[in-house]
C-alpha cells in the first residue's frame, strides 16, 4: 500500500490489479457497500474508478488535486454523495465539503451520508445560481464540479468566481457529449484546454482522459492565479 503523490489516496497492487483507498475519517461507517480494511487500527475505504471520475483520473495518473487535509471544498453535482464521501475522508475533520445537487431524489440520500459525516453538508440547489447559496458557502480552497450539462464551463467559472480563493484549485469532470455531440471527444477536450489557456485567471495543472473507466470523459485540474 502506497500513498499516491501525497494526494491522500492510496494504491494497493495485487499482481496486475490495482485498487484505490482513502483513510476513513469516520471509521465504522460504510455508506456505499464499499470494501474496507484496517491496518494498525486505521480504516481504509476502497474507491472505485468505474464509479468515480475523481478516482478514474487518479488511476489514470493524475498528479495534483489541490485537495489537502483541512481543505474546504464546494462540490457541485454531488449526487448520492459517493465521490463526495471520499473527498470528505481526504479533507478530514479539519476540512469541510459543501455537497450540492439540484435533484431532490439524490439529495435525500445525500442527507443520510452527511448525517454520518460531520464534515459534509447537503445543499439542494442549482449550480447555475451561485447567488442563491452565496450566504451559506464561504470562500473555499477547492471547487469540484461533476454536472453533465451543456454549459459546464459557464457554470464552473461562475462558481469559481463566486467561491474560489485565489491560489485555490478547480476540479472539473467534462463529459464531451454533453457539450457537443457532433464533435469527437478529443476535439472538445482540446477546446476546453484552450479555453482555460485563454483565461487570465487560470492555469491548467493537470488533465486526464478517463477511458476505459468513463467513455468520452476527461478530468481537468486548474489553479486560480
Ligand X SMILES: C[S@@+](CC[C@H](N)C(=O)[O-])C[C@H]1O[C@@H](n2cnc3c(N)ncnc32)[C@H](O)[C@@H]1O
Residue list 30-89, contact with ligand X (CB under 6 A): 52, 76-79, 82-83
Nearer to ligand X, 133 or 202 (CB): 133
Label residue 2 exposed, middle or buried (CB < 10 Å: 0-12, 13-18, 19+): exposed
Please report how close the Cβ of residue 16 comes to ligand X at its closest, in angstroms: 25
Judged by CB, which is closer to ligand X: 77, or 168? 77
Report strand pairing: 17-23 vs 10-14. Answer: antiparallel
- Does the protein bind ligand X through residue 111 (CB under 6 A)? no
36 or 128: whose CB is closer to ligand X? 128
CB of 68 to ligand X, least distance (A): 20
Rounded least distance, CB 202 to ligand X, Å: 21
Residue 171 pairs in a beta bridge with: 144, 221
Residue 21: is it exposed, middle or buried by C-beta count within 10 angstroms (0-12/13-18/19+)? buried
d(CA 77, CA 96): 16
Among 5, 35, 94, 149, binds ligand X (CB under 6 A): 149
Per CB under 6 A, 159 contacts ligand X: no
CB of 62 to ligand X, least distance (A): 15
C-alpha cell at 158: 461562475
Please, which residue, 107 or 197, has the CB nearer to ligand X?
107
CA distance 23 to 45: 6
Q: 216: left (phi > 0), else alpha (psi -120 to 50), else beta? A: left
Note the residues at the interface with ligand X (CB under 6 A).
52, 76-79, 82-83, 100-103, 106, 126-128, 146-149
Amino acid at each position: 500500500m502506497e500513498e499516491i503523490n501525497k494526494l491522500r489516496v492510496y494504491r494497493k497492487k495485487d499482481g496486475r490489479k490495482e485498487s484505490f483507498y482513502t483513510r476513513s475519517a469516520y471509521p465504522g461507517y460504510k455508506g456505499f457497500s464499499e470494501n474496507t480494511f484496517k491496518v494498525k487500527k486505521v480504516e481504509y475505504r476502497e474507491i472505485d474508478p468505474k464509479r468515480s471520475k475523481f478516482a478514474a483520473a487518479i488511476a489514470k495518473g493524475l498528479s495534483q488535486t489541490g485537495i489537502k487535509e483541512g481543505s474546504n471544498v464546494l462540490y457541485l453535482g454531488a449526487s448520492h454523495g459517493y465521490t463526495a464521501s471520499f473527498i470528505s475522508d481526504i479533507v478530514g475533520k479539519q476540512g469541510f465539503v459543501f455537497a450540492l445537487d439540484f435533484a431532490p431524489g439524490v439529495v435525500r440520500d445525500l442527507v443520510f451520508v452527511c448525517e454520518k459525516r460531520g464534515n459534509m453538508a447537503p445543499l439542494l440547489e442549482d449550480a447555475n445560481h451561485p447567488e442563491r447559496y452565496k450566504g451559506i458557502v464561504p470562500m473555499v480552497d477547492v471547487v469540484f464540479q461533476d454536472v453533465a450539462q451543456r454549459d459546464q464551463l459557464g457554470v464552473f467559472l461562475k462558481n469559481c468566481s463566486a467561491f474560489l480563493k485565489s491560489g485555490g484549485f478547480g476540479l472539473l469532470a467534462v463529459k464531451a457529449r454533453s457539450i457537443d455531440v457532433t464533435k469527437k471527444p478529443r476535439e472538445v477536450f482540446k477546446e476546453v484546454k484552450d479555453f482555460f489557456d485563454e483565461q487570465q485567471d487560470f492555469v491548467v495543472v493537470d488533465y486526464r482522459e478517463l477511458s476505459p473507466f468513463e467513455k468520452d470523459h476527461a478530468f481537468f485540474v486548474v489553479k486560480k492565479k
